[in-house]
Amino acid sequence: MNPERQHKSEIKSLLENPPRRITIITHVNPDGDAMGSSLGLETVLICMGHDTAVIAPNVYPEFLHWLPGNKNVLVYPADKSIAEKKISQAEVIFIIDFNDFRRVNQLKNLLENSPAFKVIIDHHPCPESRANLNITDVSVSSTAELVYQFIKNLELQKFINREVATCLFTGIMADTGCFSYNSSRKETYLAVSELLDYGIDKDGIYYKLYDNFTAHRMQLLGYALNKKMQVLPEYKTVFISLNKDELVKFDFQTGDSENFVNYPLSIKNICFSALFIERDDHVKISFRSKGDFAVNEFARKHFNGGGHLNAAGGESYTTLDKTLHAFRDLLPEYKEQLIKYEI
């Protein structure tokens, strides 16, 4: 039997013999896909009788806290000792929505060294880390869609309930920008139509994800677009930066700047958008593009990051000002690629 097939049958037999100690871990700054995929999978495993844990490597936005199963998520470092125990003592670890163990920050060594049977379920390009079983496909909309396929391939549909379907639908919707990108395969819609059969409240999920912000967050968005947006038509590029004082002024909470980076792409003839957020010890950067401009390569090469072709992130360990200068200085090198873009 080839190793991949052997590993598939190994996970099948592990899952078919509960209770197993199963830990699900997702990437730092978890988004809707990361949390939806993790919690949907966890609920299936709980229904099967497994002993489970979900770990988030840091705090995540409040607009995801309504997800079914959220209250038991172990958040690092608040739940440090139990999270570490759940990694080192697990029999199976699911690595959800990432493929580079560095993306769990301080938990990296523990994850790498855990003797557990590891399964990566992910849709990001350029895998950096390998597990025993690697379920990775960049053409798929979201990790949530891959988790749904995984459940079906193992014939575990009978453990899908409304909560699971809600979590998986959330992941698909979040990672496709409500079906505006990463969503041109018919399989995505077949999965969605099957998930709707579990009686999920599709519109309610939308409201909880997108119409669930504080007034401060809305005001910060207005400020960012009105006062901080820099348009560079010669590079078809826009960038926004927010420093710590500005964040404090608008009572910034984790997740408040989520999606801000997408707004400038609505401007005619703009194909590259960047958002710089000053944090305590680094600058968090988000990149988005339209067309062929590969922001994941840009992020990987210049800002210690990565992601998808049109949506990526990175970090900078110098000041916000120096980071912005470095960013601007890079643009001439990419001018030819950027100006090729036509609507």
Residues that bind ligand 5GP (CB under 6 A): 27, 29, 31, 100, 103, 286, 305-308, 311-315
Indicate which of Mn ion, ligand 5GP, none lies near residue 278 (CB less than 5 to 8 Å, by partner kind). none
Instruction: Write down the least CB distance from residue 46 to ligand 5GP, Å.
Output: 26
Note whether 97 binds Mn ion by CB under 5 A: yes
Instruction: Write down the least CB distance from residue 291 to Mn ion, Å.
Output: 21
Instruction: Write down the least CB distance from residue 14 to ligand 5GP, Å.
Output: 27
Phi/psi of residue 127, nearest 5 degrees = -55, 135
Q: Give the CB-side neighbour count of residue 27, counting CA atoms within 13 A.
A: 23
Query: CB of 25 within 8 A of CB of 120?
Result: no
Indicate which of Mn ion, ligand 5GP, none lies near residue 307 (CB less than 5 to 8 Å, by partner kind). ligand 5GP
Query: CB of 272 within 8 A of CB of 333?
Result: no
Instruction: Write down the least CB distance from residue 106 to ligand 5GP, Å.
Output: 15
Nearest residue to Mn ion, scored by beta-carbon proximity? 33
CA–CA distance, 143 with 92 (Å, rounded to integer)? 18
For ligand 5GP, the closer CB: 79 or 100: 100
Indicate which of ligand 5GP, Mn ion, none lies near residue 256 (CB less than 5 to 8 Å, by partner kind). none
Phi/psi of residue 44, nearest 5 degrees = -60, -45
User: Would you call the peptide bond into 19 cis, given omega within 30 degrees of 0 as the criterion?
Assistant: yes
Judging by DSSP bridges, how do beta strands 283-289 and 311-316 pair with one another?
Answer: antiparallel
**Ramachandran region of residue 87, left (φ > 0), alpha (ψ -120 to 50) or beta?**
alpha
Indicate which of Mn ion, ligand 5GP, none lies near residue 38 (CB less than 5 to 8 Å, by partner kind). none
Residues binding Mn ion: number (CB under 5 A): 4
Instruction: Write down the least CB distance from residue 283 to ligand 5GP, Å.
Output: 12
Task: With CA atoms as reference, report the closest residue to 331 among 231, 224, 234, 229.
Answer: 234
For ligand 5GP, the closer CB: 28 or 45: 28
Indicate which of ligand 5GP, Mn ion, none lies near residue 57 (CB less than 5 to 8 Å, by partner kind). none
Indicate which of ligand 5GP, Mn ion, none lies near residue 176 (CB less than 5 to 8 Å, by partner kind). none
Q: Treating both helix axes as pointing N-terminal to C-terminal, what angle do 186-196 and 162-175 enclose, rounded to 10 degrees? A: 150
Phi/psi of residue 84, nearest 5 degrees = -65, -40
Indicate which of ligand 5GP, Mn ion, none lies near residue 50 (CB less than 5 to 8 Å, by partner kind). none
CA–CA distance, 334 with 192 (Å, rounded to integer)? 38
Instruction: Write down the least CB distance from residue 301 to ligand 5GP, Å.
Output: 12
Note whether 256 binds Mn ion by CB under 5 A: no
State both tokens at 290. 């339209």
Indicate which of Mn ion, ligand 5GP, none lies near residue 273 (CB less than 5 to 8 Å, by partner kind). none
Query: CB of 57 within 8 A of CB of 105?
Result: yes
State both tokens at 327. 């960013």
For ligand 5GP, the closer CB: 36 or 306: 306
Instruction: Write down the least CB distance from residue 192 to Mn ion, Å.
Output: 16
Q: Which residues are within 8 A (CB) of 284 and not within 5 positions of it... i.e. 6 or more apart?
A: 29, 276, 277, 313, 315
Site for Mn ion in 132-191 (CB under 5 A): 143, 175
Chain residues binding Mn ion by CB under 5 A are: 33, 97, 143, 175
